[in-house]
């Protein structure tokens, strides 16, 4: 297996060319494997709201690599120690939720980048064999080849957006539309499609590009992912593996029964 595609992924995101990631929620390395073998550009394993354990994250990264695809890991809120560990497991990037301030962004960088950018501790025990590298080769490339992505999903994060983007070592941002809507509406509703969220999405990608960084986002469907790509988003989801399973099952059941189904309903 060539590691070139894994090592090139960060620069692909920086290029701004639209990419699509398979969002894996189930604690199943098999789901990571199967989706990695589809035409996705990467696989993202969700440790925050997904059902994963550290073991299934480690295995999912390896399965994605076996299929030649880079894996990203979304860690839990404030779990910067696991951000380092996910990179040691061979993840090519980390998505950190609820990065609401410059202090949060600096902590993310501290745990995901080696000096001089951060303070990541050395021990990429799984990454080295996976990438076919020596420790010296890894340290020379890791800060550029792995990405630290800060989630923008509150009003506070929007207010601090330029300062977060200015933190050296933050490679890009990832918009979480559910939490962002909850924050913008002060808890009154969750509405990823609200006009206010759409305006924020346009603002985030514009500011990210102004800082020479990339914007990525969670989106619910292939159609919304395409719309994000047209806006300049470098990576979008097509909801998650559970949704894809539901949509596929509903479509086939509808065909089988020849009666009303609930095609396309899903997500959360």
Binding site for Mg ion (CB under 5 A): 153, 176, 179
Of 59, 45, 74, 50, the closest CA to residue 148 belongs to 74
Check binding of 218 to ligand 3PY (CB under 6 A). Answer: yes
| Contact between residue 266 and residue 245 where contact means Cβ atoms under 8 Å apart | no
Which of the choices Mg ion, ligand 3PY, none does residue 241 contact, using the CB cut-off of 5 to 8 A by kind? none
Distance between CA 249 and CA 246 in Å, rounded?
5
CB nearer to ligand 3PY: pick between 29 and 176: 176
Check binding of 50 to ligand 3PY (CB under 6 A). Answer: no
> Closest distance between ligand 3PY and the C-beta of residue 181, in Å?
8
Long-range contact set of residues 83-87: C-beta below 8 Å, sequence gap at least 24: 83/108, 83/111, 83/112, 83/148, 84/111, 84/112, 84/120, 84/121, 85/54, 86/47, 86/57, 86/61, 87/112, 87/120, 87/124, 87/127, 87/142, 87/146
Rule CB under 6 A: choose which of 177, 205, 220, 244 binds ligand 3PY: 177
Tracing tokens 């994000």 back to the chain, one arrives at 228
User: One of 9, 49, 52, 211 is an active-site residue; which one?
Assistant: 49
> Closest distance between ligand 3PY and the C-beta of residue 132, in Å?
32
> Closest distance between ligand 3PY and the C-beta of residue 36, in Å?
19
Contact pattern from residue 139 through residue 158 relative to ligand 3PY, giving x for each residue in contact according to CB under 6 A and a dash for the rest: --------------x-----
49 carries an active-site annotation: yes
| Contact between residue 111 and residue 118 where contact means Cβ atoms under 8 Å apart | yes
Q: What residue ranges in 105-157 does DSSP mark as E strands?
A: 147-152
Which of the choices Mg ion, ligand 3PY, none does residue 218 contact, using the CB cut-off of 5 to 8 A by kind? ligand 3PY
178-207 positions binding ligand 3PY, by CB under 6 A: 178-179
Token pair in block for residue 229: 């790509």
Residues near ligand 3PY (CB under 6 A) are: 97, 153, 176-179, 218
Active site residues: 49
């Amino acid at each position: 297996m060539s590691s070139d595609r894994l090592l090139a992924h960060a620069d692909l995101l920086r290029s701004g060319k639209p990419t699509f990631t398979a969002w894996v929620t189930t604690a199943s390395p098999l789901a990571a494997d199967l989706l990695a073998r589809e035409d996705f550009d990467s696989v993202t394993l969700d440790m925050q709201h997904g059902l994963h354990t550290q073991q299934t994250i480690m295995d999912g990264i390896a399965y994605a690599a076996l299929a030649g695809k880079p894996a990203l890991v979304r860690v839990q809120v404030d779990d910067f120690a696991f951000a380092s560990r996910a990179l040691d497991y061979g993840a090519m990037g980390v998505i950190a939720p609820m990065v609401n301030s410059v202090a949060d962004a600096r902590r993310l960088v501290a745990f995901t980048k080696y000096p001089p950018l951060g303070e990541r501790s050395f021990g990429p025990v799984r990454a080295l064999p996976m990438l076919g590298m020596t420790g010296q080769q890894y340290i020379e490339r890791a800060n550029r080849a792995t990405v630290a992505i800060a989630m923008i999903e509150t009003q506070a994060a929007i207010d601090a957006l330029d300062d977060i983007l200015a933190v050296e070592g933050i490679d890009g941002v990832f918009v979480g539309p559910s939490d962002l809507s909850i924050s913008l509406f002060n808890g009154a509703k969750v509405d990823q499609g609200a006009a206010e969220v759409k305006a924020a999405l346009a603002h985030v990608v514009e500011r990210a590009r102004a800082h020479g960084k990339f914007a990525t986002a969670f989106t619910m469907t292939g159609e919304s992912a395409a719309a994000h790509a047209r806006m300049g988003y470098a990576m979008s989801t097509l909801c998650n593996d559970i949704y894809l399973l539901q949509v596929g099952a509903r479509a086939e059941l509808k065909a089988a029964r020849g009666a009303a189904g609930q095609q396309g309903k899903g997500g959360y």
